[in-house]
Structure formats: C-alpha cells, structure tokens
Amino acid sequence: MYFIMFGLVAFIFLIRLFFLQVIDDSYKVAAEGYTIRRLVDHPVRGNILDRNGEVLATNEFAYDLMLIPAEAGEVDTFLLSSLTGVSMKDFRKAYAKVESNLESGQNHSKQPQALVRELTLKSMAAFKEKMYLFPGYFLSKRSVRRYPTPTAAHALGYIREADKKAIENNPYYQAGDYIGVAGIEKSYEELLRGQKGVRKVFVDVRNNEKGPFMQGALDTASVAGYDLTTTLDLSLQMFGEELMQGKKGAIVAIEPSTGEILALVSAPNYDPNWMVGRNLRVHYGDLIKDKNLPMLNRAVMDGYPPGSIFKVMNALVGQQEGVIHRNTVVPCRGGFRLSASHTVGCHGHPDANLHFSITTSCNAYYCHVFNEITKKYPTAREGYSVWYQRALKFGFGTNLDADLPEAKGGLLPPPEYYDNRYGKGRWRGLTVISLAIGQGELKANALQIANLAAIVANKGYFITPHIGKSVKGSSLSQQLFKRHETGIDTAHFSVVYEGMYGAVHGAGGTARIARVDSLQICGKTGTAQNPHGKDHSVFMAFAPMQHPKIAIGVLVENGGFGATWAAPIASLMIEQYLTDTISRPWLHDRIRNGVLIDTLQ
C-alpha cells in the first residue's frame, strides 16, 4: 500500500512537472524579460502659509513621462509625440539630455529619467492606453509646486531639478529630484521636502507592473514635508506689490517686537508659478534677459547709499558717545564747511537742535556729529573704529542672519578699507564725512533700513528679522528669534522719536506727505545719490508712536526725493496694515499708477 501511495504521488508530480516544464511554453514566455524597477515615491512638499494661514505655496499632481534607457527599445517617437502632445523637436532635446546624463555619468542606464515633465491629463490617458508599445517608458505621478496667489516670488524663491552639483553635495538628491534653490524654498528645504520613499516592483516584458519585489520588504513610504507658516501677511504683501508696480525697488515691513517680516516686496517681480515645470521653459529666458532684473531680490541685495535715514543712527551714536545731547544746536548756514573751497551743502533752514535736525534732515548737523566722534579719540582712525563698531551693531554691513538665502550685507567700510584707499594715517574724519549723511561708500538695502526703523521703535534692540514663523510638527532654530542689543541707551531714543514724528507731522517736516492724522507715524526720508541717473527715493518709518506695530523700509530706484515715492508708499502700507483701510484714494491711485520703468510685455 505504501509503495503504491508513494509511487502514485511521485508519478503525478512527475507528470505535472513534465507538463509545466517541458510541454507548456507559456511560463517561459512570461518569465522572459522580467526586471526589477526602482520607483521613487516622491514626498509631497510641505505647504507654505502666511501668518494667518493663507496658502502661499502648495502642490498639484502631475504625471511625468519616464524612461529607463537600458530597457527602452526602438519606439515610434512620432506616435509618442502625437500621444503626449509634445513636439518632435522637444522630444529630440529631451532624448539628447538623457544621452548627456548617461555620458556624464550622472545617471546610469537602469535609472529612470524624466523625459517629459507634467503631461496633461488627456495626454497622460492617451499614453497609458498605448503604454505596452513603449517598453522602458512609464508614467510617474508627482506633485508640482503651485502658488495660488501669484505673489511674494522673491521671498518664496523656487524649486528646481537638482543639478549635478547638488547631487554631488548631498547624497539625498538624485537626478530628477527637486530642490529649493532660492528664498524660503531654499532656506527651509530640509523641512519642506519631506522624505523620499522607494518601491521596487517586478515589471514584465510587456511593461506591466507584476507586484512588489521581495514582498515589499525593502520598500519605504514617502513622508510628506512639514507645512511652514511664515511671518508674511498676504494682504499687506499683495498691497505692497500693487504699490510697487511699474517701479524698481523694495519694501520690507517688520513687526518690531518680534522681528517678523510682514512683507518683503521686490519690484519688478514675477509670477512664482513661472518657475515651475513647463512654465519655466516659457518664461525663464525672458526673465533672465530682462534688463530690469526681475529675478533680483532688491529687498536684500547689496543696495545703495541709504542717504539721510542714516542720520537717525548717527543721532543715536552721537548721543551715546556724548558728543551731542538733545539741546545741542549746530549752526547750519547752508552747509558744513570742509575747507575754504568745499562745503557739504544743506537746504535753507533755521539753526537746528537735535530734534529739529532730524525733522528737517540737516546735513551740517550730522557732519558735525560725525566729525566730533572722530575727533574725540586720539586718532581719527580710532574714532572711526568706534563709530564703525557701533554701526555694525545696527546691522549695517551684515546680512542680519536673516533666513533669506539671498540676503547681502551691503557695505559698511571697515577702517582697513580706508587704510587701503588712502594709506594708513593719511585719512581723517573729514575725508569720509559723507558717511555722516548716509552717502559715500555706504550700501544698505530695504531690509537693513526697515531693521533700523525697528531698532528705533524698540528703543535699542532688534530681533533677527525672519520670515519663518513656525512649523507644524517640528521646530525652527532659536537663532531666528535672537535679540540683538545695539548698545544705545533707551533714553537717547526719545528725541529721535520726536524728530521722526516731526518729520511726518511737524512744521518743516520732510515727509509731511506720509501724514495720516489718525495714526502717529514716525518717519525719516532719504535720498540716495545715484551717479548713474536720477536719485533713489528712500524712506523708513514705524507706527504707531506708542507701542509700534510695524517698522518699514522703502527704496524706490530713480524715485528722486524720499518724500516723492518712498514716503507715500510707506504711509499707505502702514495705514493698510494698521487700519485695513485707505483714507487717501487719490494718493493710492497716484502711487499705483506711477510708472518709473518701462514694464516688460
């Protein structure tokens, strides 16, 4: 019985195996060309929100046409072109890129590469139907960056396919991955990007997925990026961009008590959606060719001489150094005499005390202050070094450690700068006297000017200006919220408050156009000398005078006097932010419709 049973089973098995292995060919055919495909599961990039939770950046889904060079045979590219709606010319370009990636060693031939980005839904469906004709081709779903309100392009920055350098620098990135390369997208890349997942699947010869490799034991799921809440106020940002249309320049608004950047406008600007996927091809060339440099973030660039707003800092440094006090009167009489033949000119006004010198922006007063500081010490160089160190503490010459990757420090010349230029011991305070009134070699940007306004508003300190506010599920570096002391006594600020208030509200004030009767705005105009053309219009302000809620810096290139463009813009911004209304529609219209550059078409 046992012999029969064992023999019978063995016999049945042998028959079955004979059919399975020798007679039936279907398994041999099916098993041909089985390969493992490594599919990257791209994480959903974190959203970027404004301070009130309005969405600044989010994601949409799109399908990319992918290609694995090693598996791709000869295919009908004409059919592919008609299915996907991509021109033959673009296809040839895309193939050439794949080839060059292979030759440069950036990709190996078994690695999927994107051939066409963001197929339309229609062409995606058309291709899917005929996919079996294209071995080695497949679709990959990914999320694409979208900026629902096309605003704050410079602050948000953009993402880009990681280039060779980025891939070499960080093993996380592979060809086809996106990486933030500017603005918030760059500075918060690691929080926003999430964690990639990898799936390995079997693919048969007909390009069908046949199931997970090793039962998915090696697969990892992607983890979505964190949502970042920024300090930006969307409505204020959009208002600022509206005011700056047709002009070149920048606005930065900061909440003084926290250092939070409420608005960061750089004009001319562009739609951040232009930097995404297929739009990029359409617009990028125009953007980089535009002579008005729309890609430049003017709010944080090296900048221009800040002009008279710098007097505010010198008024504070002068008091701290004890060379002036609130009642010091300096005779003006049309300017500050450097020598018999040279005078730093000033407009006609009565002799000024400290308060009035700010209100009326007296040049002679600040030349005196600066000269006295340099004279107070044994050598002019020592005196200048003291002044330089104090100015540094106001954030001039530094990028302020802001979380904006493009932030530049401008120029605050260190003593060595003049040693090189004039020779050691061969320069005096009077040699560099233009620094007193914010001219000369100085360079500052709107962020530094707004920060100066914040320092005055805070009466002596500032919090690192920053644009990242919070991250749900993670935390931001405490460096962002650091308090920086300027070393100026609080008592010295009251006269500056009065002077800046007077500049807006008082008789003889340089910025009376910025006046809003219901708001106590403190401001200071500036006019940055421009050897290449019309002067730049500069203004800084904070409001309200009691418990300031907003500090602002405005720069309008070729805007002339500070009061012409920059002051009204700052005034409108402050009013919009504090009261949410515009009481002067005529001014709003004048600014909004003012065109100072040829806008691009």
- Cα–Cα distance, 415 to 429 (Å, whole number): 11
Residues within window 373-402 making contact with another protein, judged by CB under 8 A:
none
Figure out which of the listed residues 3, 340, 345, 546 binds another protein, where binding follows CB under 8 A.
3
Q: How far apart are CA 291 and CA 533, in angstroms?
A: 15
Which range touches another protein (CB under 8 A), out of 5-13, 60-68, 224-232, 404-412?
Answer: 5-13
Distances (CA, A) of 366 to 317, 346, 350, 393, 573: 11, 11, 15, 19, 29
| Distance of alpha carbon 133 from alpha carbon 128, whole angstroms | 10
Kindly state the number of chain residues that form the binding site for another protein, as judged by CB under 8 A.
33
**Single residue of 9, 221, 288, 600 touching another protein by CB under 8 A:** 9
443, two tokens? 């360079």
Q: CB nearer to another protein: give 11 or 422.
A: 11
* Between 16 and 92, CB nearer to another protein: 16
Q: Which residues neighbour 432 within 8 Å (Cβ) at sequence distance 6 or greater?
A: 384, 413, 418, 440, 441
Closest approach of another protein to the CB of residue 8, in Å: 11
Instruction: Output the smallest distance, CB 207 to another protein, in A.
Output: 16
- The residue among 18 and 61 lying less far from another protein, judged by its C-beta, is 18
Report the 10 Å Cβ neighbour count for 172: 15
> Is the Cβ of residue 76 or residue 209 nearer to another protein in the bound state?
209
* Region binding another protein by CB under 8 A among candidate stretches 3-11, 125-133, 322-330, 374-382: 3-11
- For residue 211, the minimal CB distance to another protein (Å) is 5
- Smaller CB separation from another protein, 5 or 595: 5
The span of 34-42, 143-151, 293-301, 323-331 binding another protein (CB under 8 A) equals 34-42
Nearest-approach distance from CB 18 to another protein, in angstroms = 6
Q: Taking the complex as a whole, how short is the minimal distance between the CB of residue 110 and another protein, in angstroms?
A: 13
x/- mask, another protein, residues 466-485, rule CB under 8 A, reads --------------------
Minimum distance between the CB of residue 22 and another protein, rounded to whole angstroms?
5
Please identify, using beta-carbon distances, which residue of 24 and 489 lies nearer to another protein.
Answer: 24
Element (H, E) at 369: helix 363-376
**C-beta of 6: minimal distance to another protein in Å?**
5
Burial environment of residue 6 by CB neighbours within 10 A (0 to 12, 13 to 18, 19 or more): exposed
Q: Do residues 332 and 364 lie in contact, with contact meaning Cβ atoms separated by under 8 Å?
A: yes
Taking the complex as a whole, the smallest distance from the CB of residue 30 to another protein amounts, in Å, to: 6
- Residue 173 CB, shortest distance to another protein, in Å, is 23
Answer for the pair 180, 159: CB distance below 8 angstroms, yes or no: yes
Residue 215 CB: number of other CB atoms within 10 A? Answer: 8
Kindly state the smallest distance separating residue 416's Cβ from another protein, in Å: 58
Single out the residue of 576, 581, 518 nearest to residue 544, CA to CA. 518
> Which element (helix H / strand E) includes 282?
helix 277-289
**C-beta of 6 vs 481, nearer to another protein:** 6
Least spacing, CB of residue 73 vs another protein, in Å: 18
Count CB atoms within 10 A of the CB of residue 15.
10
Instruction: Report DSSP state, residue 23.
Output: I
Is 586 a binding residue for another protein by CB under 8 A? The answer is no
Query: Closest distance between another protein and the C-beta of residue 29, in Å?
Result: 9
Which residue lies nearer to another protein by CB, 1 or 282?
1
Q: Does 6 participate in binding another protein (rule CB under 8 A)?
A: yes
DSSP 551: E
CA 386 to chain CA centroid, Å, is 33
CA distance 82 to 88: 9
Contact criterion met (CB below 8 Å) for 432 and 399: no
- Which CB sits closer to another protein, 14 or 221? 14
Nearest by Cα to 177 from 197, 191, 157: 197
1 binds another protein (CB under 8 A): yes
First to last CA, the chain: 96
- CB nearer another protein, residue 4 or residue 595: 4
The answer to whether 248 and 597 have CB atoms below 8 angstroms apart is yes
Secondary structure letter of residue 436 according to DSSP: G
Q: Binding another protein by CB under 8 A: which of 7, 85, 148, 425?
A: 7
Return the closest-CA partner of residue 256 out of 17, 49, 450. Answer: 450
Q: Does 110 bind another protein (CB under 8 A)?
A: no
- Give me the sheet containing 209-212, strands edge to edge: 35-41, 197-203, 209-212
CB of residue 136 to another protein, shortest distance in Å: 17
Closest to another protein by CB, 9 or 70: 9
Q: Left (φ > 0), alpha (ψ -120 to 50) or beta: where does 304 sit?
A: beta
CA distance 119 to 183: 27
Binding mask 199-228 for another protein (x = CB under 8 A): ---x--------xxxxx-------------
- Asked whether position 36 contacts another protein by CB under 8 A, the answer is yes
Q: How far is the CB of 16 from another protein (least distance, A)?
A: 5
Find the binding residues for another protein in span 259-288 (CB under 8 A). Answer: none
The stretch among 7-15, 293-301, 428-436, 587-595 that binds another protein (CB under 8 A) is 7-15
Tell me how far, at minimum, the Cβ of 170 lies from another protein, in Å: 24
Taking the least distance from each CB to another protein, the nearer of 68 and 236 is 68
Nearest to another protein of 13, 61 (CB atom):
13
CA distance 8 to 122: 59
Cα 323 to Cα 4, 334, 514: the distances in Å are 118, 22, 31
Site string for another protein, 12-31 (x = CB under 8 A): xxx-xxx-xxx-x-xxx-xx
- The DSSP bridge pattern shows strands 468-471 and 228-230 to be antiparallel
Distance CA 62, CA 121 (A): 8
Residue 166 or residue 205: which is nearer to another protein going by CB? 205
Q: Where along the sequence are the contacts to another protein (CB under 8 A)? A: 1-3, 5-7, 9-10, 12-14, 16-18, 20-22, 24, 26-28, 30-32, 34-36, 202, 211-215
